[in-house]
Chain A
Amino acid sequence: MIEIDVALTRANFALQVDFTAGNGITALFGESGAGKSTVLHLAAGLIRPDRGRIAVNGSVFTDTQSRIFLPPHQRRVGYVFQDALLFPHLNVRQNLLYGRWFTRPAEGAVSLDQVISLLGIQHLLDRRPTTLSGGERQRVAIGRALLAAPRLLLMDEPLAALDIERKREIIPYIQKLRDELDLPILYVSHAIEEVARLADRVILMADGKVVSDGPPQQVLGPKAGPGDDRFARISILTTKDPSYDPTYQLTEVSHPAGRITLPGRIAAGEGPIRLVIRATDVTLALTKPRELSIRTALPGKVEGFSEPAGAVVMVEVRLAGGEILAAAVTRKAVDELGLGVGDQVHCLVKSVSIDDRLMAVKD
């Protein structure tokens, strides 16, 4: 478990955060400049806070009150950088084993063989970092961090520099990491699909402060969405039991409010499948429509409206099961339909607008 309670002031930036995080992935989410990476730098000891305390599993890393500041090399935190930062003069095996110089065998929670099979990098061992693809590099960087027997794993936008294919390639490995290792992971990202897919908990940051903190559906959901950018408003629906229709190459997942259709094949893994649905992709209808191309219609009750002043209104609909789905519609449409709080509506979601690329299994 990591406990962080720190404050830091720079010329045009102030950071003040206080949270604890246990095993599993805690995502630090927010726009760039929100201070997410600064939190990781503080945890790794790459910068010092003006005041505060950081402790991992009870051992104190930083405590300004009792003048404790452990230098980075004594902290045993695994740090995975956005651009991997493998040592270019060493081959993959030497990169992986670099941290082994400093850990006693007993401390090593994972062995080289375990890491190699966990990350699928057996065939890369004798290669030079320059000859690896972005995704391979990132896997090696994760392995290198794990082999230093970390007490905490810090991942600073590990997928941001990768294209969608490489992201797909690497996400299952990060999931395995999350599920198989007893390790707190702080995961910095500003990609909502990535966070929805990976994180057990999301800490939303803005201007150096924690804005909200909780499970992804709640923090990233329509009521707490970041800013008033209508394209950034999303809802996360928790679904399960995927069934694949090979004829049409569609997957149906089940939600308390009904079945949801999406393209691609999604494997039935452990745990729920979180769908990210943009508010601008949701259409409202008063009756269940027929003769429409849309396959998904989820009934629910209008719970409230936000931003009623401009052209766009966010309609928050509570679905069966309690989750809220936001629909961005024009104020004119709200008036013409006579929508009010408590009204029954059907939320129509275009299947093809659901981004399955980070979820789907590639054939």
Chain B
Amino acid sequence: MGLSEEDWTAILLSLRVASVATLASLPVGIGLAYLLARCRFPGRTLLDGIIHLPLVMPPVVTGYLLLLSFGRKGPIGAFLDQCCGIVFSFRWTGAALAAAVMGLPLMVRAIRLTLENLDRRLEQAAGTLGARPLFVFATVTLPLAAPGILAGSILSFAKALGEFGATITFVSNIPGETRTIPAAIYTFTQVPDGDANALRLTAVSILISLVALIASEILARRLNRQVASFS
């Protein structure tokens, strides 16, 4: 297809950002989904709302809020920089953070739904057999929720690949650092004669999405067969 070095940089960066965003948000997403599906506590509805905010707010607003809190001068950003040397602003890690935050509501929704539909008596059965709650979670709850966790991860990954507004607001559009595929396409459309380049990357984008969807479908079918209930 004749991809330029610049294209490859954007593609590899996008894949890295999306993978890191998905993997890093997975434990958080599972934890939040479990909390929302299983626990009753004051402020539960509020927490649910906050998690879902990035889904309904303009992405630029999410990006700006990230910049305010995770930027070098933001309270969280400054703290992380000083204590652990973690910097988000204008780095690919910031792009991953933005993608993770944008994808989190989708991930939490998918996992929460599976947890709510899971037959809790299976967990009770494991308990009566002597398994402590953490062991039950690891050996019964997680394997049975695997299809939902997979679905949530795919959604989050796809969202991360396509994320544009929050990313460009939070970490700008720096070639090789934060210029992901959408940002690169946007850049090409802003220059004369950029159409061919933009189209090439668009094709790549479609290809990656398709491969991810098909792979997840195959995996999901296999997982579903494994944990299928009896009825």
Contact = CB atoms under 8 A, between A and B. Distances in A.
Interface of A: 44, 46, 71-79, 81, 83, 85, 87-89, 98-99, 101-103, 129-130, 137, 144-145, 148
A101 B140 CA distance: 14
B135 interface: yes
Top 10 closest A-B pairs, CB basis? A102-B130, A99-B129, A72-B127, A79-B128, A148-B129, A85-B125, A89-B143, A89-B227, A73-B127, A73-B132
A46 B228 contact: no
A89 B230 CA distance: 11
A144 B126 CA distance: 10
A120 B109 CA distance: 44
**Which of B119, B226, B230: most chain A Cβ within 10 A?**
B230
A76 B130 CA distance: 6
B121 interface: yes
23 contacts: A44-B128, A46-B128, A71-B127, A73-B129, A73-B131, A73-B133, A73-B136, A74-B130, A77-B128, A78-B128, A81-B121, A83-B230, A85-B122, A87-B125, A98-B131, A98-B139, A99-B131, A101-B131, A102-B131, A103-B130, A129-B230, A145-B129, A148-B129
Interface string B95-126: 00000000000000000000000010110111
Nearest to A75: B128
A273 B126 CA distance: 37
B181 interface: no
Interface in B172-231: 226-230
A108 B81 CA distance: 55
Interface of B: 119, 121-122, 124-133, 135-136, 139-140, 143-144, 226-230
A114 B128 CA distance: 21
Contacts of B127: 46, 71-73
A101 B135 contact: yes
A130 B226 CA distance: 9
B230 A87 contact: no
A73 B228 contact: no
A148 B125 CA distance: 11
A98 B126 contact: yes
Nearest to A102: B130
A231 B229 CA distance: 37
Contacts of A99: 129-131
B126 A88 contact: no
Contacts of A137: 230
A44 B135 CA distance: 18
Contacts of B226: 88-89
Contacts of B125: 79, 81, 85, 87
Given A72-B127, A85-B122, A98-B139, 19 more contacts: A46-B127, A46-B128, A72-B124, A72-B128, A73-B128, A73-B130, A76-B130, A78-B128, A79-B125, A79-B128, A85-B119, A87-B126, A88-B230, A98-B126, A98-B129, A101-B131, A102-B129, A130-B228, A148-B130
A266 B18 CA distance: 69
A87 B128 contact: no
A27 B126 CA distance: 24
A99 B126 CA distance: 8
B140 A87 contact: yes
Nearest to B124: A46
